[in-house]
Chains A and B, each alone.
Chain A
Amino acid sequence: MKDKKNNEGYVKFVDLYSKYGVLLILVIVFLICSFSSPAFLQWSNILSTLNQAAITMVLTCGMTMLLISGHADLSAGSIVALTSIVCALTMKMTGSAVLAIGVSILAGVICGLLNGMGVCVLKISFFIITLATTMILRGMAYILTDGAPIYGMGKIMSLGQGSLLGIPNLIWIAAGVIIVTFIILSKTVYGRYLYAIGGNPEAAVASGINVKKDIILAFIIMGMISSVSGIMLAGRTNGGYPSAAEGYEFDAIIAAVLGGTSFNGGVGGVIGSIFGAIIIALINNGMNLVGISAYYQDIVKGVIIVAAVFIDLKTRSLVMKQ
């Protein structure tokens, strides 16, 4: 009898964990951070942590959509760098913030379109295509700037560094992107199609879904979101740097996977991914406050990610067995 009871308790835990696991980890990380450093719990510290994570969060939104559709964009970091430079150059040439933002978003859309066409028209694996565009776009970023940073963003700098109602603008922008992504994924027909395509592309085709169009659109959205990140980055750093945003795509993928989005497609959601992004940001911040060196930080992060995803896998397979 005792054994059975234990078993039931365990099953309940598994069930809860599969639903609220990320939240649980978030709370634990938050508690550990608050106990280890008094500076952590200060409002200003939390705001600045979120502010630093805002760009990753935005990127995570697009990456989550792509992962759900069974794809990923490894060129996201390069698109961020390229669009931040396009933004800086346009600003420098025209002085118009609106034009700079518009041209950057257009550049992002084109990058996304190219990735999407590569996957759907050339029928090359997303992994290869986006790996190739990573290099191509990064190269373009260096060519456009001649390898040197461009400074001076004017109004866009105030956008990136200012705040509204006491909360930094970047957090507002991230919140906006998160809400839009949430609505797309959970309330629209397109969102449903993305889940179906990621879950079983053959079944999606046989159900009359225009799979190619929807995947290209997902890459375009990713490009657009990357350009928003690029503009945010240009604003925050008051300039365009060709070497910027390296590895951002991995941060986004890791946040999404930590948050329960499957790398195999068909499963996940943007809320979990954002929790994942916040967890990573808190861990970074906590370690900074305690004074752990940056080299050790990477190791700690890597270990935590493996542990979290491993537990997630285990619980998920148990839930499946039921």
Chain B
Amino acid sequence: MEQEMLMQMKNIVVKFPGVIALNDVSISINKGSVHAIMGENGAGKSTLMKVLIGDRTPDYGEIFFEGKPIEKIASTGKHKDISMIYQELNPIKDMTIAENIFMGRFPEKARGIVDLPKTNELCQKIFDEWDLPYDPRQKMNTLSIASIQMIEIIKAISKKSKLIIMDEPTSAITPKEVEKLFSFIRELKNNGISVIYISHKLDEIYQIADHVTILRDGEKKKECAIEDITREEMISCMVGRDIKNVYYKKEVDIGEEILEVKALGRKNVFSDVSFSLRKGEVLGFSGVMGAGRTEIMRCIFGLDQATEGSIFVDGKRLNVKKPMDAINAGIAMLTEDRKGDGLVLCRSIRENIALASLNKMSRYGFMDKKTEDDKVNKAVEELMIKAHNTSVAANNLSGGNQQKVVFAKWLLKDPKILILDEPTRGIDVGAKTEIYHIISRLAENGVAVIFISSELPELLGVSDRVAVVASGRLVDILDRKDATQERIMELAAKGEK
């Protein structure tokens, strides 16, 4: 290799009780390169990263940084050479950008007294150096997710980190912002900073990565340059089996109209949204985050209040004030944030699945345990939720399985209309395909499905029609046969103005 090696992990072994999380995994990262680490949920990616940043001591193995062995890397704060940008960002929202960047290592006037002007000055210097348009005095809570992410990266740079780990950095930002992020990553590369890039999105990996390491079941399955591997190889290597039809859709007879939304609006969020939905139909909703897709659905489901317009279910006007009203009308919604308002993490799989349909499993307010077990077990089997038993807390499941638990909760309710908001975000390819199958099966049974997604290929793969939302307006609805990625992007761009 002509390039200089920055970091090397050798023969890392991590054992959890009963499971080997990492078995003899070695990777090496070159200076100024972007190294993608891929694998399904539970493949060992996050454990490997935890070992690297010192959150977990490996049972066996060594780490070398710039040729020197690291005995035991202390937590991120102390080890400034390696920084990690987490998927879920936790800035201190009421403080300024500069304060967030220099948190924990403020320049001081005297011992214990923060030199705020100096902090701002130092911060501005970094922004100038990297040609970034931020104001050090701006409060964090005025920034978009993409900007907060950028600030986190800047924070890593300001610590003179040589290796930055990014965990699914694009899961919550718009395509435009992704482009910005990528050009910034390229700049980092040019400055000799290495990046470990974790993502489920193959397109991105091809755009940005130089090398890729694929993990499966705690073992390294492949490490090679990005040019030497095709998409199909990558997928089959991650999943361990060939997935031919990633997107699955069965032709279904579409029935009568079940939902009609007329001129729905919410002040300052979205306005004049009209569409209709028929039994057995899958209506895709595309648009960037913040375009209003989620907000429209939240109003239909009663999580927020619409300020204008009306909703009709089965021809009857529905007045939704709270989710209960929507649920009683046969609407179910799998929310975008499965940890936020989908699951009760500390409770068992069984309780989570049963939660919305307890009245069907009880008599006079007392639980009928047998009916509950029957129904829950059937759902677990049907959706292939992988767990020892249904008493396991939802917290202990992988992302894909958690999502399936939320699915199961709503399937038990036999909804007529099912709203799915980014149901495949952050879950692995195998589980995604299973979810497409579930959607198809539901449509076959006459359930009307609204499917929101930022990933165009999957949206085109599973939808009968695709609605394009931009800047709080429904720009157009395309039929399956007319919908292409280009057409959708074009409409979205038009709607932005």
Contacts and interface: CB of A to CB of B under 8 A. Distances in A.
Given A189-B365, A195-B351, A266 B346 contact: yes
B343 interface: yes
A289 B362 CA distance: 49
A203 interface: yes
Interface string A1-19: 0001001100100000000
21 contacts: A188-B362, A188-B366, A189-B358, A189-B362, A192-B351, A192-B354, A192-B355, A196-B344, A196-B347, A196-B355, A199-B345, A199-B346, A203-B340, A203-B341, A203-B342, A206-B323, A206-B341, A207-B355, A208-B356, A209-B324, A210-B324
B359 interface: yes
A266 B396 CA distance: 16
A204 B324 CA distance: 10
A260 to B, nearest CB: 12
B327 interface: yes
Interface of B: 15-18, 301, 303, 322-324, 327-328, 333, 335, 340-347, 351, 354-356, 358-359, 362, 365-367, 395-396, 409
A206 B339 CA distance: 12
Main secondary structure of the interface of A (DSSP, over half): helix
A198 to B, nearest CB: 9
Contact of A196 (B322, B351, B362, B366): B351
B335 to A, nearest CB: 6
Q: Point out which of B16, B17, B322 has the most chain A C-beta atoms below 10 A from its C-beta.
A: B17
Interface of A: 4, 7-8, 11, 187-190, 192-193, 195-196, 199-200, 202-210, 262, 266-267, 320-322
Contacts of B345: 199-200
Nearest to B342: A203
Q: Point out which of A200, A207, A322 has the most chain B C-beta atoms below 10 A from its C-beta.
A: A207
Closest 4 CB pairs of A and B: A199-B344, A202-B341, A208-B327, A206-B341
Contacts of A202: 340-341
Contact of A187 (B324, B367, B395, B409): B367
A200 to B, nearest CB: 4
A133 B108 CA distance: 46
A227 to B, nearest CB: 23
A8 B19 CA distance: 12
A195 B347 contact: yes
A187 B370 CA distance: 12
A146 B18 CA distance: 67
A196 B344 CA distance: 6
A203 B409 CA distance: 12
A322 B388 CA distance: 13
A168 to B, nearest CB: 31
A189 B351 CA distance: 11
A209 B341 CA distance: 12
A267 B393 CA distance: 11
Given A202-B341, A322-B17, A208 B351 contact: no
B347 A322 contact: no
B341 A322 contact: no
Nearest to B367: A187
B367 A192 contact: yes
A205 B322 contact: yes
Contacts of A8: 17
A188 B372 CA distance: 12
Contacts of B16: 321-322
Nearest to B337: A202
B351 A200 contact: no
A187 B17 contact: no
Contacts of A195: 344, 347, 351
B194 to A, nearest CB: 29
Given A206-B342, A266-B346, A189 B367 contact: yes
Contacts of B362: 188-189
Nearest to A264: B346
Contacts of B367: 187-189, 192
B394 to A, nearest CB: 9
Given A7-B17, A195-B351, A207-B409, A187 B341 contact: no
A320 B392 CA distance: 11
Contacts of B301: 206
Given A205-B322, A206-B333, A322-B16, A199 B409 contact: no
Q: Point out which of A204, A206, A267 has the most chain B C-beta atoms below 10 A from its C-beta.
A: A206
Contacts of B395: 320
Contacts of A196: 344, 347, 351, 355
A189 B365 CA distance: 5
A199 B323 contact: no
Q: Point out which of B340, B347, B396 has the most chain A C-beta atoms below 10 A from its C-beta.
A: B347
A67 B490 CA distance: 53
A308 B22 CA distance: 34
Contacts of A208: 323-324, 327-328, 356
Contact of B366 (A189, A206, A321): A189
A205 B327 CA distance: 11
Nearest to A262: B346
A189 B359 CA distance: 8
Contacts of B342: 203, 206
B423 to A, nearest CB: 15
A293 B391 CA distance: 46
A275 to B, nearest CB: 21
Nearest to B322: A205
A70 to B, nearest CB: 11
Contacts of A203: 340-344, 355
Contacts of A192: 351, 354-355, 358, 367
A204 B346 CA distance: 13
B325 to A, nearest CB: 9
A14 B18 CA distance: 15
Contacts of A187: 366-367
Q: Point out which of A11, A203, A262, A322 has the most chain B C-beta atoms below 10 A from its C-beta.
A: A203
Given A195-B351, A203-B343, A208-B327, 7 more contacts: A199-B347, A200-B341, A205-B303, A208-B323, A262-B346, A322-B16, A322-B396
Given A188-B366, A189-B359, A207-B323, A200 B17 contact: no
Given A192-B351, A192-B355, A200-B345, A206 B17 contact: no
Contacts of A204: 344, 355
B294 to A, nearest CB: 13
Q: Point out which of A187, A190, A196 has the most chain B C-beta atoms below 10 A from its C-beta.
A: A196
Contacts of B15: 4
Nearest to B356: A207
B127 to A, nearest CB: 36
A25 to B, nearest CB: 23
A189 B15 CA distance: 40
Q: Point out which of B335, B343, B346 has the most chain A C-beta atoms below 10 A from its C-beta.
A: B346
A205 B366 CA distance: 21
A204 B327 CA distance: 13
Given A8-B17, A206-B335, A190 B346 contact: no
Nearest to B354: A192
B309 to A, nearest CB: 22
B209 to A, nearest CB: 31
A181 B367 CA distance: 15
A200 B358 contact: no
